[in-house]
Structure 1
Amino acid sequence: MTSLKDNSRAGRAPDARIKPVTDLAARLSRELEGEVLFDDASRGRYSTDASIYQVTPVGVAIPRHQQDLALALEIARDAGVPVLARGAGTSQCGQTVGEALVIDSTRWLDEIVEFDPEARTVVVEPGVVLDHLNAWLKPHGLWYPVDVSTSAQCTIGGMAGNNSCGSRSIRYGNMVHNVLGVDALLAGGSEGHFGFVDQLPASGRVRELAERVKAIAEGVAPEIREHFPKVLRRVGGYNLDLFDCQNPKPYDPDARVNLAHLLVGSEGTLAVSRRITLRLSPLPEHKVLGVVNFPTFYQAMDLTQHIVTLDPSAVELVDRTMIDLSLENPAFRPVIEKALTGRPEAVLLVEFAGEEREAQLASLERLHELMADLGLPESVVAMPAPAEQQALWNVRKAGLNIMMSMKGDGKPVSFIEDCAVPLEHLAEYTDRLTDVFHRHGTEGTWYAHASVGTLHVRPILDMRRDGAEKMREIAEQASALVREYKGAYSGEHGDGLCRGEWVAWQFGPSLNDAFKEVKRLFDPENLLNPGKIVDTPRMDDERYFRFSKGYRRIPLTPVFDWSGWNLTRDPLTGEQGEPGSAGDPTHGLAMAVEMCNNNGHCRKFDAGTMCPSYRITRDEQHLTRGRANTLRLVLSGQLGDEGLASDDVKEALDLCVSCKGCKRDCPTGVDMAKFKIEARTARVKARGLSWRDRMVGEMPRYAPWASRFSSLLGAVERVPFLSRRVKATLGLAAQRDFPRFCDNFLAESQGEVVQAPREVLLFVDTFNNYLEGENARAAKRVLEAAGYRVHLNVRQGERPLCCGRTYLSSGQFDKARLEARRTLDHLMPHVRRGVAVVGLEPSCLLTMRDEFLQYGFGKEAEALSGAAFLFEEFLVRAHVSGELPLDLKPVDHPRAMLHGHCHQKAFDAVRPVEQVLSWIPGLEVETIASSCCGMAGSFGYEAEHYDASMQMAELSLLPAIREAAEDAVLVADGTSCRHQIRDGSGREALHVARLLERALA
């Protein structure tokens, strides 16, 4: 536990009224059953959200249950410390950062409390994630339709606090239209149910609040009618218009006054939610999607007003910048390519949904006809199939993160992001706002909700240089346009630190005073998320910026070449330039870390590999975002001067299994596995190597000796006392067996060359040479059966080649680079002749496609990267080119259960395994939807990580294997994966090469 420091980068000095933080931390720790975090690193991780701001909290409390939540508020109130209720921390305007005790509801306050399918209502705790709720509701034919792009990680509490909207608000409305009630804690300690006013008790605190708020609203009724924007998307200020039944809003089908709607959109400044009652909607039976391609952005905006007359459920924009960035992302490229005709400057995703499929197909046909009538025939790409629709919606949902994947200091900045204007003015508004950007030497990125006139636009600014000045000027000019078109300055993402000062501008002095009166009524001591909505700071107060002119990066010399992250991007042309003034390659590492925009995509649980350690801990520290924040704070000197060798970095990366899930699943490309190599190397240089690190790293060197004395290792394993003693000495888990070394396949196979017209080099790694030689034998036989002359990666009298992966994982970078250089020198003559290099172990072969490129080996590494293929990738490639005359017969198994290695998933290399398995006659293939198996090289062997390793395996992999039929064959290409499957289930898994060998006719 630490006290607050006056650190201008980590936030302003604490308010003088706050009692010593150590007293607060001590009492919270003593009385709460949940977790209490007051160390500098934890506070730093909670100092940011998805906005441009950074404010260090007083501390963090993570309540285990409702009693903890109430107790945390009580203790903070006694100490005079403000409270900030926080969900996933995905806010884009700074609502969820502040000098307060942060209360994180996401780990434990996530129960579905009540459900009434007949009434179509559900009661949830604030930490329930939207996608989890909808998955729970799906069997009942219902869903909660406020489908925001962060649905995989955002919480219902955060959505209510922000009055979130979503892609389909044109049909279902905003959060405020779908909340029926809120059970809340008030600043003074009382609690109550906020719901329909005509159902409130005749007396009590909530009734009193209702009457007094009504009086405030009636006092400014003319101003409400005059100044509240007449657009669906407006979330600024407090919803005082809920009492204006002469001018009813669609808050409720009966236009009844619901006091809960005052709390919706209040950003936690009026009360803290305990439970939220939601109105549900029937799931539409059928959906179809039409992707309209436009030659100009203006046309897309201008014609939206015609498209909405077809009654779509959504009309979403994707602009050229987002298209180009999606095409650069390997996960999104094949999806976005299917949606394009030619090279459009913008596309609109037009969805129709309803009970009858034929009706939706008819609507899709009317869209074709409409676009032809409007002069754009053949512009619509029809997507009637659910799978392709979902894939494209996933790209759209990742829009923010895709936009933030630009390299360099210039980034799309959120501050006028969700201004909303009437549809008839949308084209002119966007055109004039684009002119504003150009006058300031920049460009904006556009996407999102064309259907309701809310376009997320972010001008590209460098906040470390002149970004703050340009932000102010652009905001003032944009606000003038919004007023001219009678729109809403805050249309979806709330006020927060970014737009709080514009509340008075939007609503006028009388309404602003009314908002202040409401705040004082609910929170007289100003203890609930102060500085939001009323009495807010300026949007460009640099004391709150995450990056500002005073931001610095500590000097360091990374081991990898990170110069590619120094590339500048011209905001107007989008062209990448040479390394910019941020400059020399040493800064590239910091810039790569800063690619994390805090949007929290890594908190998802629905699919993909990211992030297995967070999935088992629910701890921000063990999340890709949390780790990136830790590294950023360290590299900018905000967590001491030890740099990457610090304990804070070691603890944050402790459960990182280097799965590379973030490399693929994170739309901004945060590669935590590579950052961990940098950190491990720095730690080893500062603290030295442990015996276990040496044992892991040097495995390729001692493997020949271990294979000769494998019987001795087996004897040690058979003596329990001796085995436990040896493992304890080395820091290995007693539950794991020692590796089972075998004969040296490469030594045995030298000289065994089958002549054939085509050549291939089989790269047999340490694991498949000394631990599972049968995989290499099988692969060699299959390649020879396919008509290839197979070269091996060894010369007479030389030690076999090695990719250096074990050295990288143990922090011995220099040795890894030497191994890589030796391997490159040996392989290049083959590569120059056009011979493919084929590997069996994903983590080894893919090291050549990834880490080798950042060793500084230049074009040779690029050539090897292009020639290196996993075994099944090579077979698919040969099959496509007609050079794979394999004759396969059925095997003794009717089905195969496939588990993909994490690195295969990261490089989209699981599909080739599925393809080659599909060649085996009669074999039904099922791919297990799994994250990391948990073994992850030496991670699962380490005593302190054994439990975490098994918890990762139990997320989905081991349960799926236990449910698999006995006659199913298990397939896993990773050595670690096969070992984990054997340890966790008692069943053996095969490398795909062995199954293909069995199928050879």
Structure 2
Amino acid sequence: MTSLTEKTQSRDAKVKPVTTLAARLERELQGEVLFDQASRGRYATDASIYQITPVGVVIPRHQRDLALALDIARDARVPVLPRGGGTSQCGQTVGEALVIDTSRWLDQIIDFDAEARTVVVEPGLVLDHLNAWLKPYGLWYPVDVSTSAQCTIGGMTGNNSCGSRSIHYGNMVHNVLGVEATLADGSEVNFGFVEELAAGSREHRLAEQVQAIAARVDPEIRAHFPKVLRRVGGYNLDLFNCQNPKPYDPDGRANLAHLLVGSEGTLGMSRRIKLRLSPLPEHKVLGVVNFPTFYQAMDFAQHIVTLGPTAVELVDHTMIELSLQNPAFRPVIEKALIGKPEAVLLVEFAGQDQDAQLAALRQLSELMGELGLPGSVVDMPEAAEQKALWNVRKAGLNIMMSMKGDGKPVSFIEDCAVPLEHLAEYTDKLTQLFRHYGTEGTWYAHASVGTLHVRPILDMRRDGAEKMREIAEKASALVREYKGAYSGEHGDGICRGEWVAWQFGPTVNEAFREIKQLFDPDNRLNPGKIVDTPKMDDKRYFRFPEKYQAIPLTPVFDWSAWNVERDPLTGEQTPPGTGGDTTHGLAMAVEMCNNNGHCRKFDAGTMCPSYRVTKDEQHLTRGRANTLRLVLSGQLGDQGLAGDDVKEALDLCVSCKGCRRECPTGVDMAKFKIEARTARARAKGLSLRDRMVGEMPRYAPYASRLSGLMAAVERVPLLARQIKQALGLAEQRALPAFAGNFLAGAGETAGAATASREVLLFVDTFNNYMEGDNARAAKRVLEAAGYRVHLNVKKGERPLCCGRTYLSSGQFDKAKAEAQRTLDHLMPFVERGVAIVGLEPSCLLSMRDEFLQYGFGEQARALSVAAFLFEEFLVKAREADQLPLSLKALEQPRAMLHGHCHQKAFDALRPVETVLGWIPGLEIETIESSCCGMAGSFGYEKEHYEASMKMAELSLLPAIRDRGEDALLVADGTSCRHQIHDGSGHTAVHVARVLEQALA
């Protein structure tokens, strides 16, 4: 069978342009070479407002590939653009060049010296992965940027990244000791301390020439280089003036590697980077200062830094409100608030002495009292709550970008840095400037160093570009007035490149051009960055140019909620509640992806399981969203959602809905996949396997009567193999096992009950015909608690169904019909206050998700409020003192819990932990896992079996194998239980079965 890797490498081979460059790259490299239109489109954007289609994309497998790619591109006279996580916000990683993506394979730790506190890494290594590796040694790399889960060390080096704790640890340039790089002519150089460079070497000659340039323009350097920590614009030429050196090394030594830091890949291509490490603080405390006005927060920052914090981070009212609207962030941010503040500052103290940090926290409260704000500090001394709040802050950009509608916060004056004593006045004047243009700014980030990420809300489809230019010009005047830096963290790229000359003056700007000529005389390395840059508002490079519009199509879901316009000053919809064009709404929903790449994370959560096993941009939430955006705007042909590019991009999407919750902008790829599968099915028809999956609720009654025959088929290997081959099913999987019909013989609970003590148990197809014991257990538990239990079936009628099997197979109309039938039957119960309780997460939660976009109106909203998973209902009933349930201890002392992806997406896993906690003496361990990989029919499909098992092996199956024999395995999802059994041989049970065992 073709492996997943081979399939990925060979994709689009039939349509790839046969060019000399592409042919030679494919012939000589072992890594991936991507020249098809869809792949180039996915690499045409980063987290900026720009889109420039690259010549092609190379993903080198090793250092030899990297060197060969550079040689071949040089021979073809094609520019080269190095790229890591693709999270740059200024357009540094987009350009008409050969993009070289180091993030997939060039991610190794090459050398480590714990005593010297140094490490040498390849450029594609992700920061969080490095710090996880370093943690057992008590060390970390402290340039802790908000994108630490997805950004690479190479990208951080290229941008001179800074991070929340730069006031204590400095910027990237303060923590890089050396860079092994390849220059434009193919020379391999090792940049380090100038005094250690071998006399006569290429590196030494370059250092002498750089120092000569710096000495010549010394007066201009003194006059124009900003005197603030956060200055990352241009080249770091001020470090090499031998007459007045200001090196970043603690010993005062100039380091040629520091010229490459912040150079945005324009001077050399990093191969290995040597980093200075810091001891990991043993203790941290956090004080959250609540401010009644934004101005006070800015004004008080200068006083707070006198206490010696490691970080002082701003969260403004916009970010607070948007966080409260996000189900993942709401409970976290609520703990940090006192009333309704206009802004909060997150003040962290860290070190080796816990008492000292707690004392600093008390000093913070005392200081705020002295400044007139007593009782304004929320103390957070515990690590777990600190981490949760920092995760909200780190998601700040994406939270800001979660605004629906055409107006978005736009990055172009985002990183201006001013001295702290001017911060309040600067932000106040900038706010007035925004209001003059009928908008407002979103503020967050680094109050400790005077760098505030501010993004005015502009509509780049209409007059945004014109306003951007005018605001930038007036904002730059403010920066100059307060002697600040126009580029304070995220680099220059396209949106700030033209301001380099403004910031440093013509003489220094010409010196920068000399530096570029010295290292890259043919302008082959990321041209158009730092020197000779385009205008920030050149519309040719916009992601949404003037003629951009969605192609005409009719989506099946109602997307009108995304088609809103908001008053940027009030946040009100204008006009309110109109709904409007659902076609445009679909495009707007797709465009919620801002390319920040949070979906590339590996550390925790669900998103994005297919990327975790492939590390392929195509199989990433961001990559899929880019593909859909290009398709919906007609940039990838005229087939729309039914086209091959969409099918291939969504091929490994398991509809886990992890992105729905974990993507701070709420991109719901599972729902997009339903749109695409439906369009494909209507255009191309359905396969036999699709029909078999979709129609399962209809044929399940007959299959259950023939369960013995189906079991017998598995005992005849040749016959079973032939059937699976005909249906396109994986031979390694057993055919679905039907067994009985719970609803046919269950009957309703006898006896009367008040309306507050009755419930409707929604028994889905899987728990009715395959695992009836789960439904039987749930009914018994509810009856034991005194509830009258209704069931989702009428005599002589087919059981109700949520329609999810139809959705997953592209049969939308049948799914909607099933949903309507279910809604009609359930509404009388809902109207009299009866809760609808389900067992299978993907089925029940459809009532809280897809049902709302069918166009059913208020009835669907009423059902969504009344629909609960089994354990959610139990928790709610107990909180209302309506669950007189007596439980006893089990034989097993421990339970290991695996959450279904949809439970995680709807924050419905905690209730499972809660009800298990009611069982006396039971120790509960929740497995930190992504999708199990079965995902309904996905894991059964022949072409997806390998990916399915790889997903399971990421963390779930290893955790189960290591669990010990005394642990009970709990999983509410039918697919999850099947995958656990297939992958480990162990049996997991629904929480209803566990509670039934525990009934006293």
Fold shared per TM-score above 0.5: yes
The separation in 2 between residues aligned to 1:123 and 1:433, in whole angstroms, is 42
d(CA) in 2 for partners of 1:440 and 1:686?
47
Structure 1 match to 2:6:
none
SS in 2 for 1:607: coil
Q: Match of 2:806?
A: 807
TM-superposed CA distance for 1:208, in Å, is: 1.2
Q: What is the match of residue 262 of structure 2?
A: 265
| 1:24 aligned onto 2:21 | yes
Report the Cα distance in structure 2 between the residues aligned to 1:250 and 1:292, rounded to whole angstroms: 36
Alignment of 1:559-598 (within 5 A): 559-578=556-575, 583-598=580-595
Q: Which residue number corresponds to residue 729 of structure 1?
A: 726
Q: Measure how far apart 1:580 and its partner are.
A: 9.5
Give the aligned length: 982
User: Where does residue 4 of structure 1 map in the other structure?
Assistant: none
Q: What's the counterpart of residue 325 of structure 1?
A: 322
Q: For each residue in 1:254-305, what CA deviation from the matched residue of structure 2 results, as whole angstroms up to 9, or x when unmatched?
A: 1101000000000000000000000000011110000000000000001100
Amino acid at match of 2:814: K
Other-structure match for 1:17: none
Q: Quote the Cα distance in structure 2 between the aligned partners of 1:237 and 1:581.
A: 47
Partner SS state of residue 235, structure 1? coil
Match of 2:130 in 1: 133
**Post-superposition CA distance 1:115-154 (Å, at most 9, x none):** 0000000000000000000000010000000000000000
Question: 2:81 touches 2:93 (CA, 8 Å); kept in 1?
Answer: yes
Is 2:598 the partner of 1:617? no
Q: Give the C-alpha shift of residue 582 in structure 1.
A: 10
Q: Secondary structure at the match of 2:497?
A: helix
Q: CA deviation at 1:752?
A: 4.8
Matched residue, 1:768: 767
The aligned runs of 1:591-670 (5 Å cut-off) are 591-670=588-667
Q: Counterparts in 2 of 1:665-704, with a 5 A limit? A: 665-704=662-701
Letter in 2 for 1:27: R
Residue 971 of structure 1 is matched in structure 2 by 970
Alignment of 1:425 with 2:422, yes or no, is: yes
Structure 1 counterpart of 2:358: 361
SS of the counterpart of 1:714? helix
Query: Distance in 1 between the 2:412 and 2:875 partners?
Result: 48
Q: Which residue of 2 is the match for residue 959 of structure 1? A: 958
- Distance in 2, Cα, partners of 1:771 & 1:250: 70
Per-residue deviation at 1:574?
Answer: 1.6
* 1:42 equivalent in alignment to 2:42: no
Distance 2:751 2:625 in 1: 50
Q: What's 2:169 paired with? A: 172
Shift of 1:577: 3.4
Deviations 1:613-650 (A, max 9, x none): 00000000000000000000000000000000000000
TM-score by length of 2: 0.98
**Rounded Cα–Cα distance in structure 1 between residues aligned with 2:371 and 2:133:** 43
Are residue 887 (structure 1) and residue 881 (structure 2) matched? no
Contact 1:291 1:339 in 2 (8 A): yes
Q: Tell me the distance in 2 between the aligned counterparts of 1:856 and 1:507.
A: 57
1:690-718 deviation digits (Å, cap 9, x = unpaired): 00000000000000000001111111111
Contact map agreement 1:21 1:58 (CA 8 A) in 2? no
- Preserved contact between residue 63 and residue 109 of structure 1 (Cα < 8 Å): yes
SS at match of 2:789: strand
- What aligned pairs does 1:103-182 form with structure 2 within 5 A after superposition? 103-182=100-179
Please show how residues 532-571 of structure 1 align to structure 2 within 5 Å: 532-571=529-568
Which SS does the other structure have where 2:82 is aligned? strand
Q: CA shift at 1:562, angstroms? A: 0.2
1:7: which partner in 2?
Answer: none
Q: Report the more deviating stretch, 322-331 or 570-579.
A: 570-579
Distance, in Å, in 2 between the alignment partners of 1:430 and 1:593 is 33
Partner residue, 1:901: 900
Work out whether 1:449 is the aligned partner of 2:424. Answer: no
Shift, 1:779, TM fit: 0.1
Look up the equivalent residue of 1:651 and give its one-letter code: E
- Offset, 1:756: 3.9
1:754 is displaced (CA, Å) by: 4.8
Distance in 2 (CA, whole Å) between partners of 1:358 and 1:754 is 62
Post-superposition offset of 1:755: 4.0
Q: CA RMSD in A?
A: 1.0
1:478 to 475, 478, 491: 475
> In the alignment, is the contact (CA less than 8 A) between 1:152 and 1:601 conserved in 2?
yes
Partner of residue 777, structure 2: 778
Is the contact between residue 315 and residue 443 of structure 2 (CA under 8 Å) also seen in structure 1?
yes
3-state SS in 2 of match to 1:278: strand
Match of 2:528 in 1: 531
1:9 matched residue in structure 2:
none
Counterpart contact for 2:35–2:55, Cα < 8 Å? yes
Contact 1:24 1:75 in 2 (8 A): yes
Q: Who is 2:858 aligned against?
A: 859
Q: Is the 8 A contact 1:568 1:580 kept in 2?
A: no
Native 8 Å contact 1:754 1:790 kept in 2:
no
Contact kept? 1:564, 1:579, Cα under 8 Å: no
1:781-804 CA-partner distances (Å, limit 9, x unpaired): 000001100000000100000000
Measure how far apart 1:247 and its partner are.
Answer: 4.7
Q: Counterparts of 1:846 and 1:342 in 2: how far apart (Å)?
A: 33
Per-residue deviation, residues 575-612 of structure 1 (Å, max 9, x unmatched): 23347999512110000000000000000001100000
Amino acid at match of 1:955: L
Q: 1:494 aligns with which of 491, 494, 497?
A: 491
Shift of 1:405: 0.1
Q: Which string of whole-angstrom CA distances, capped at 9 and with x for unpartnered residues, describes residues 305-337 of structure 1?
A: 000000000000000000000000000000000
Query: SS where residue 116 of structure 2 aligns?
Result: coil
Structure 1 gap segments, 5+ residues each: 1-19
What is the correspondence of 1:462-473 to structure 2 with a 5 Å cutoff?
462-473=459-470
1:222-268 deviation digits (Å, cap 9, x = unpaired): 11111000000010000001113655546110110100000000000
Q: In 1, are the aligned partners of 2:932 and 2:956 still within 8 Å (CA)? A: yes
Give the deviation of 1:550 after TM superposition: 1.4
Tell me the SS of whatever aligns to 1:150: coil
Q: 2:751, 2:944 → 1: CA distance?
A: 45
Q: Structure 1 pair 970/29, CA: closer, same or farther in 2 (3 Å)? A: same
Larger deviation, residues 110-119 vs 754-763: 754-763
Q: Which residue of 2 aligns with 1:13?
A: none
Match of 1:279 in 2: 276
Distance 1:294 1:526 in 2: 50
Matched, 1:846 2:857: no
Which residue identity does 1:820 align to in structure 2? A
Q: Is 1:349 aligned to residue 346 of structure 2?
A: yes
Indicate if the aligned counterparts of 1:753 and 1:791 stay in contact, CA closer than 8 A: no
Q: Distance in 2 between matches of 1:131 and 1:586?
A: 39
SS in 2 for 1:576: coil
Give me the whole-angstrom Cα distance separating, in 1, the residues matched to 2:856 and 2:67. Answer: 59
Q: Match of 2:452, SS?
A: strand
Equivalent position SS for 1:165: coil
- Residue 874 in 1 paired to residue 869 in 2? no
SS of residue in 2 equivalent to 1:800 = coil
Q: Which residue of 2 aligns with 1:3?
A: none
Q: Percent same amino acid among aligned pairs?
A: 81
Q: In the aligned structure 2, how far is the partner of 1:887 from the partner of 1:349?
A: 44
Q: Which amino acid aligns with 1:332?
A: F
| Alignment pair present for 1:310 and 2:307 | yes
CA distance in 1, matches of 2:987, 2:355: 48
* Cα distance in 1 between the residues matched to 2:242 and 2:785: 77
Q: Matched residue of 1:85: which SS?
A: strand
Aligned match of 1:12: none
1:706-721 to 2 correspondence within 5 Å? 706-721=703-718
1:990 partner SS: coil
User: In structure 1, what residue type is equivalent to 2:226?
Assistant: P
* Match status 1:233 vs 2:236: no
The whole-number CA distance in structure 2 between the counterparts of 1:578 and 1:965 is 60
SS of the equivalent of 2:760 reads strand
- What is the distance in 1 between the residues matched to 2:300 and 2:247? 26
